[in-house]
Structure 1
Amino acid sequence: MAGGIAAPPHPARVRSPALPTGPRPLARAAALGRLLHPRSIAIIGASERAGSFGERTQRNLAGYAGRLHLVNSRYQRLGDQPCHAAIAALPEVPDLVVCAAPMEAVEGVVRDCVEAGVGAAILYAAGFAETGRPERVALQARIAAMAREGGVRLIGPNCIGMLDYASGATISFAAVPRPAAPPDRPAIGIVSQSGNLGFALAQGVERGVAIGRVLAFGNSADLDVADGVALLAEDPGCAAIACVFEGMAEPRRLVEAAEIAWAADKPLAVFKLATGEQGAAAALSHTGSLAGSDAAYRAAFERAGVVMVEQFDALLETAAFLAKAPPCRAPGVAVVSTSGGAAIMAADKAEAHGVTLPQPGEAAQAVLAARIPEFGSSRNPVDITAQVLNDPDSLRACAEALCADPAYGAVILPNGYAYEFATPRFALLGELAAAHGKAAAVVWLTEWLEGPGARAAEANPQVALFRSMDRCFAALAAWQARAERRATQGAAAPDPATRLAPPEAAARAAALLDAAGPTLTEREAKSVLAAYGVPVVEERLAADAEAAVAAAASLGYPVALKVESPDIPHKTEAGVIRLGLADAAAVRAAHAAVLANAARAAPGARINGVLVQPMVPQGIEIVVGARRDPLFGPMVVVGLGGILVELLRDSATALAPVGEAEARAMLRRLKGYRLLRGFRGLPPVDEAALAAIIRRVGELAADQRERIAEIDVNPLICAGSRILAVDGLIVRG
């Protein structure tokens, strides 16, 4: 029984992991009504002591519309409310219990919840699995198992609480951000592993951001961020989801939740922490979270239609924009500015993010030319100049002309100076955008962050407010990409019926892999690739110099020589490759040289012979590979290849297998994509053929996920429709 308890310590930064095991189905809103819409709440550890977690929680629930019960055996009354000795003594079974008890009492509280038939419990206390101490890991697991078997859903432990502004169920021991009024329209839902960061975002309500719910999960012994995303996806009061997370042991649950959000057309913006090694180590010690590969998460989120943001301070702005913006009607964006400098800044950022600023159509151009002074600019980005002070109606005329132009899906108004005269412009922009079904944004460039008009712009249901031109155009690009994806390919995985590899490929490749050693030789690797239809260069294995000369004569000069050894996977670094050999003498000399280098680079290495290959004519070098991610499984990687692959670090990653649209999208994401369109006299690369090779490598990686740890096809030499793999590496595992 829980009575006579003191306030727990503040949830602390923690030290090492506690990872749940086994797949868990996602929580769905229909089954969690007692958590999401509690008719009654009981605070375990209620207290009269000012500043205690129990006292703060009670104070934060002052506006709660349901029935509130207090539990602590030390008191009969707290203020004007009765206080009960235990859960069993309450006049009703509460839907939700808030446990403000210390770590030592939590197991007993959860047991009482199970026995009473409570629906859900929020556990504040820290000191569980996040400490890394085996007995605390076991304690958390025991509590979670008890709750799961008893039908009690848990948030926490080591959590800050949850907020529901619509019902007043603002449950936390911390200071709760307060909006001027509950949301009057579908609003942003926030999901965060970190309670502090979740509440940091929630403070957006103080400046007019419409936020409906905040869910923070702490150690996630039961419910976690994936469940939170799924719940908000099914919440009619949620218009868009902002998610902060570090990592999780079952990341595919989060991908599944993202797919639920996609199916509901509920925009999901994610900011992922722990993208570097030090951040991953900190995540492990914060909530016991396995950060995972940043590239793998990005690939999974890309497939699920998630909008990734690169900066924490972009997350709420992006989610607010996606919540307010209508469907994208056109890819063009119009900028109407009273400052030439702000207009130039907009043009720069639009170009940086690939957002087009097309010129106005004939009708709009006529209005602009008539209303803008000669020292302004009627070209997009439009500069109507400070003359708007003398002719206020010019802004309405110009903005309406741009909103009516079918080339534009969004209209942007930079605001460089905060003053009362400018405030009505934001309502005007919202009115015009709504009338024409366009998105609208105000970019707040002034350093008076809360100056006149800021709250009005933020609270306007048709206008998004950005405090950075860069973040504005990043959000516009994401909105447009999301719209294009919904219109074309959706978020589904590739259809198995569209496989390119022949039916016998999997069995043939499996036999080749099973017969090979831990690291396949180049020849063995290319045999596996060829089984899946990847075009590979012709070659001969020569046992000695004269056999190499004979092979070269048969294949035709010039040729390349490579030592074949399972012990020398990286041949360039070992100096065991010679290229462009034009005659027999050159082949003999190269044969002696590469064998000598092999002996120096890897003494005792097994040498099968020397591969002789015809030289492939010049082309763009691409690398296509795959690796098995410990959390997501096989991933496909494509990038600019050759010896500069690690230096350039220009690559795109996707979950294997990939469909045609996804393979083409990977190519387009490369910074060097323009090279594929024709470069220095080379013909444009056959993008369809290259995408097909990417798909075939993805099918290989997916089919052989239990046998292959890594594939590296580097390079593929591409010129027009001629695309050949001239080297390959496969590592089993």
Structure 2
Amino acid sequence: MTTQLTRTPELAGLDGMWDPEVVTVVGASADTSKWGWFLARGALRGAGRRTVHLVNRRGVDVEGVPTVRSLEEIDGPLGLVVLSVPAASVPEVVEEALRRGATGFLGITAGIDRAVGRVGAERELAERIRSAGARIIGPNCLGIFDVETDLHLAWGEFAPGHIGVVSQSGQLGSEIAGLAAQRGLGVSRFVSVGNQVDVSAAEALAALADHDRTRVAILYAESFGDGTAVVDAVQRLRAAGKQTVVLTVGASGASQAAAASHTGSMTSGMDIVDAACRAAGAIRVATPTQAVELAALLSQAPLPTGGRVALIADSGGQGAVAADVADAAGLDVVPFSDERRGLVAGLLPADAGVGNPIDLAGGGEQDLATYARVVETCLEDTEVDAVVLSGYFGSYAVDTPAQADQERAVVETLAAAVAGHGKPVLLHSMCTDSSSLDRARELGLPVFASIEAALHALAGAARIGRDARPISVPQLPVELPRVRPGYLAARELLQTVGIAFPGAAEVRTVETVRVATEQLQGPWVLKADWIEHKTEHGAVVIGLRDADAAVAAFEEMHARLGDGAYVLEEMDQRSQTVEVIAGLRHDAAFGPVIMVGAGGTEAELWRDTVLELAPVTVETAHTMLERLVSYRLLTGWRGRPGVDLDALARTVSALSQLAGVPGVGEVEVNPLRAAADGVLAVDALVIQEKEQP
């Protein structure tokens, strides 16, 4: 007997995915090499919490549990339906399940489009599911796992822990989960999103904010789709006190394609991903191992407020190596004050190194409590954000078992010091495993097998605390001029938001050129208004010092380029200027981005640029300038005066306020001529937004 269920077609949330009242595995198998066996076995593990139905077309028992041959034989709700059947059968199973009121689907099966012989079949299936008020994760995914709810609908085993994993690649996500298990961390929830025809990685990530078991999230994404949703998800996690580690191998949407302006061709998609991570408060890593090492720190230790680190080692060699690695990772090995050096010296042998790094010179061996005393002395320093203890500590319990209890006592003292000072202490031990290190992990002291792993994780954690910033809200005039092509129109639009330009006039004839020379202060620059990259096309002449020179230049240019609007503009004669480029464009995934960099005709040669999601505040614009290699030119180089950094930052911020303005596709200002007395834009390009089909 079957019971026909009806549901209101109101789109369901995701709670039913993580803790369904009923799970129905379609394609359950008794063959231990098949997907259907892993899924059935995992579903049965949660049978004490929920009803589990197993569907096998031959009706064989699975793990000693009877199965049914079809959905028609199930009396009652189907709940979350797991699809592990041949691809050609998926649409039929979905239709039957929807008629029976299924609340959600987990699509393991891949290749549905190919199997049914129609491109877009997967998307159509998702639309059908959503129209019925249900949801689907996948298809082509490795499954889901949740410790809190005894849900195990995935291939393989998962060690329970506190790291939430959301992965576009099931296999890579499985690797991350395995590495976490090896580190003694484990996962709290695992979601392989597969083809994301419905539930996206961003949605699964955001759901971790309310997941009590999760302390830190790892996201692996090959493409970002709606990147703004990813940013929102990370910000939601941060608001819940949880950090996010991002691993990616590509770029964002169409950001790899060169834009019509230099702004696009001078940046990469990864630059935009990094900008999104900064805006959201996440950190990007390059490998699964790096992701897990950073997650180990973030899930166990306080977040450092900066990158100033104290290094403590058992030998001068280990300390020197640690200092070099820390410097390369962007950490600051701060010199100790004379007072701090004196305090450290009072704890160690006479030949110990008491600067930073500290060389214990056998002090720890003589008295294990010395380790804790020196660490706590460093934690008390207001100029230190974190402490790394590198070397032999952790080995005593193995090499000298009689000292095991004493070494574990030191670990407990270290953990208490971390709690008291709110600063992280990282342990790099020469020992791979010991009861002391196990106790350290239990108490939230992150342990690392290499100094580079420890310091790169610390550098990542420090960047999270330092780089996170809110995206500002545009502050625009009530009315903006209509976006039109040409330099004159670009000037008008940019002046409206507060960007300064030299005086200029439109000229079309010899007579209007002469009139303009009487109204504008020379020398002048002549430009063809409608040509975008003027230097490349001979559409600009500079240094016109009298009216006859201006007329001659106009006649020559007009003869080559023809009728149209030309611009006679006052030439910026200030010496000691630095040329800067600034640009705004729209990324397909993450939306508007603002770029600033070394400008002028050689801008693409130097490619010294930084990006942020737009708009940005003046304060954020300042930090962008500081990250440029050419920043030293802006602050004064070899006796030259520095430029007005406040005016330059205000200009960059003003440009970013055009983010999302209807009709604005791209904007480039190059160069911005910055000097001690202010900033002038002397060329600009506004590209109209293309109409969407």
CA–CA distance in 2 between the matches of 1:259 and 1:37? 24
Structure 1 residue corresponding to 2:648, chosen from 660, 682, 690: 690
Question: C-alpha deviations, 1:574-629, integer Å up to 9, x for none?
Answer: 3444444556787677667x739x93xxxx55554463422331312111111233
2:178 is aligned with 1:199: no
Please report how far the alpha carbon of residue 75 of structure 1 lies from its aligned counterpart in structure 2 after TM superposition. 1.8
Structure 2 residue corresponding to 1:103, chosen from 66, 84, 87: 87
Name the structure 1 match of 2:24: 42
CA–CA distance in 2 between the matches of 1:272 and 1:26? 30
Give me the TM-score of the superposition, normalised by structure 2. 0.84
**Quick one: structure 1 residues 418 and 323, their matched pair in 2 at CA, closer, same or farther if it must change by over 3 Å?**
closer
The code of the aligned residue for 1:249 comes to: G
Name the structure 2 match of 1:189: 164
Report which stretch shifted further, 580-589 or 135-144: 580-589
**Quick one: structure 1 residues 673 and 62, their matched pair in 2 at CA, closer, same or farther if it must change by over 3 Å?**
farther
2:519 is aligned with 1:561: no
Question: C-alpha deviations, 1:41-73, integer Å up to 9, x for none?
Answer: 332112222312112323445643535432113
CA–CA distance in 2 between the matches of 1:732 and 1:329? 42
CA–CA distance in 1 between the matches of 2:253 and 2:319? 39
Please report how far the alpha carbon of residue 545 of structure 1 lies from its aligned counterpart in structure 2 after TM superposition. 7.5
Question: C-alpha deviations, 1:170-202, integer Å up to 9, x for none?
Answer: 322x3324x3xx43xxx1101111101110000
Partner secondary structure for residue 23 of structure 2: strand
Question: C-alpha deviations, 1:516-545, integer Å up to 9, x for none?
Answer: 44xx1x333212211222100123455577
CA–CA distance in 2 between the matches of 1:347 and 1:548? 64
The code of the aligned residue for 2:568 comes to: L
Q: 1:417-428 residue pairs with structure 2 within 5 A? A: 419=395, 420-421=398-399, 424=407, 427=411
Partner secondary structure for residue 379 of structure 2: helix
Q: 1:81-120 residue pairs with structure 2 within 5 A? A: 81-90=65-74, 92-120=76-104
CA–CA distance in 2 between the matches of 1:665 and 1:263? 23
Please report how far the alpha carbon of residue 417 of structure 1 lies from its aligned counterpart in structure 2 after TM superposition. 9.6
CA–CA distance in 2 between the matches of 1:296 and 1:485? 14
Name the structure 1 match of 2:54: 70
Contact kept? 1:330, 1:407, Cα under 8 Å:
no
Name the structure 2 match of 1:139: 121
CA–CA distance in 1 between the matches of 2:285 and 2:628? 18
Please report how far the alpha carbon of residue 159 of structure 1 lies from its aligned counterpart in structure 2 after TM superposition. 0.5
Partner secondary structure for residue 67 of structure 2: strand
CA–CA distance in 1 between the matches of 2:679 and 2:654? 13
CA–CA distance in 2 between the matches of 1:82 and 1:712? 68
Name the structure 2 match of 1:573: 536
CA–CA distance in 2 between the matches of 1:42 and 1:614? 75
Name the structure 2 match of 1:288: none
Structure 1 residue corresponding to 2:156, chosen from 175, 179, 204: 175
Please report how far the alpha carbon of residue 278 of structure 1 lies from its aligned counterpart in structure 2 after TM superposition. 12
**Quick one: structure 1 residues 715 and 198, their matched pair in 2 at CA, closer, same or farther if it must change by over 3 Å?**
same
Contact kept? 2:643, 2:677, Cα under 8 Å:
yes
Give me the TM-score of the superposition, normalised by structure 1. 0.80
Structure 1 residue corresponding to 2:341, chosen from 365, 386, 395: 365
The code of the aligned residue for 1:86 comes to: S
**Quick one: structure 1 residues 128 and 371, their matched pair in 2 at CA, closer, same or farther if it must change by over 3 Å?**
same
Question: C-alpha deviations, 1:466-488, integer Å up to 9, x for none?
Answer: 456555445434433443567xx
Contact kept? 2:44, 2:52, Cα under 8 Å:
no
CA–CA distance in 2 between the matches of 1:466 and 1:640? 40
CA–CA distance in 2 between the matches of 1:102 and 1:308? 37
In the alignment of these two chains, the number of paired residues is 659
**Quick one: structure 1 residues 700 and 48, their matched pair in 2 at CA, closer, same or farther if it must change by over 3 Å?**
closer
Q: 1:275-290 residue pairs with structure 2 within 5 A? A: 275=251
CA–CA distance in 2 between the matches of 1:26 and 1:189? 25
Question: C-alpha deviations, 1:608-662, integer Å up to 9, x for none?
Answer: 4463422331312111111233334432221121122212222222333322333
2:276 is aligned with 1:319: no
**Quick one: structure 1 residues 346 and 556, their matched pair in 2 at CA, closer, same or farther if it must change by over 3 Å?**
farther
Name the structure 1 match of 2:5: none
The code of the aligned residue for 1:325 comes to: A
Q: 1:451-470 residue pairs with structure 2 within 5 A? A: 456=438, 459-466=441-448, 469=451
Report which stretch shifted further, 101-110 or 538-547: 538-547
Name the structure 1 match of 2:571: 614
Partner secondary structure for residue 78 of structure 1: coil
Please report how far the alpha carbon of residue 677 of structure 1 lies from its aligned counterpart in structure 2 after TM superposition. 2.3
CA–CA distance in 2 between the matches of 1:141 and 1:127? 12
**Quick one: structure 1 residues 415 and 123, their matched pair in 2 at CA, closer, same or farther if it must change by over 3 Å?**
farther
In structure 1, the gaps of 5 or more residues are: 3-24, 282-291
CA–CA distance in 2 between the matches of 1:341 and 1:213? 41
Question: C-alpha deviations, 1:256-276, integer Å up to 9, x for none?
Answer: 222321322221121222139
CA–CA distance in 2 between the matches of 1:416 and 1:269? 30
Please report how far the alpha carbon of residue 308 of structure 1 lies from its aligned counterpart in structure 2 after TM superposition. 2.4
**Quick one: structure 1 residues 462 and 418, their matched pair in 2 at CA, closer, same or farther if it must change by over 3 Å?**
closer
Identity of aligned residues (%): 29
CA–CA distance in 1 between the matches of 2:252 and 2:466? 31
Question: C-alpha deviations, 1:264-309, integer Å up to 9, x for none?
Answer: 222112122213999989xxxxxxxxxx944444333332222222
Name the structure 2 match of 1:494: 472
RMSD of aligned alpha carbons: 3.6
CA–CA distance in 1 between the matches of 2:557 and 2:75? 87
Please report how far the alpha carbon of residue 205 of structure 1 lies from its aligned counterpart in structure 2 after TM superposition. 0.7
The code of the aligned residue for 2:137 comes to: I
Please report how far the alpha carbon of residue 247 of structure 1 lies from its aligned counterpart in structure 2 after TM superposition. 1.6
Partner secondary structure for residue 125 of structure 1: coil
